[in-house]
């Protein structure tokens, strides 16, 4: 089953967002997920 999650957010701490992204990416990939696109 496929699912798409769309998130809109305002980043207030770019460093924390980058740390989160680095931590989340391997977990998403581990369970077969992928990031289709990302914004700035």
- Whether 1 shows a pLDDT value over 90: the answer reads no
Query: CA dist 8 to 1, 11, 30, 31, Å?
Result: 23, 10, 24, 23
Beta carbons of 4 and 14 less than 8 angstroms apart:
no
pLDDT computed for residue 7 by the predictor: 87
Please tell me whether the overall predicted TM-score, pTM, comes out greater than 0.85 for this model. no
pLDDT, mean over the chain: 89
- Report the residue count for the chain: 40
User: Tokens 């809109």, residue?
Assistant: 8
Q: What is the rounded CA–CA span in Å between residue 14 and residue 23? A: 14
Q: Which of 5, 11, 9 is nearest to 35 (CA)?
A: 5
């Amino acid at each position: 089953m496929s699912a798409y999650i769309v998130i809109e957010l305002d980043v207030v701490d770019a460093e924390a967002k980058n740390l989160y992204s680095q931590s989340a990416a391997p977990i998403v990939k581990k369970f077969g997920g992928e990031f289709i696109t990302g914004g700035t």
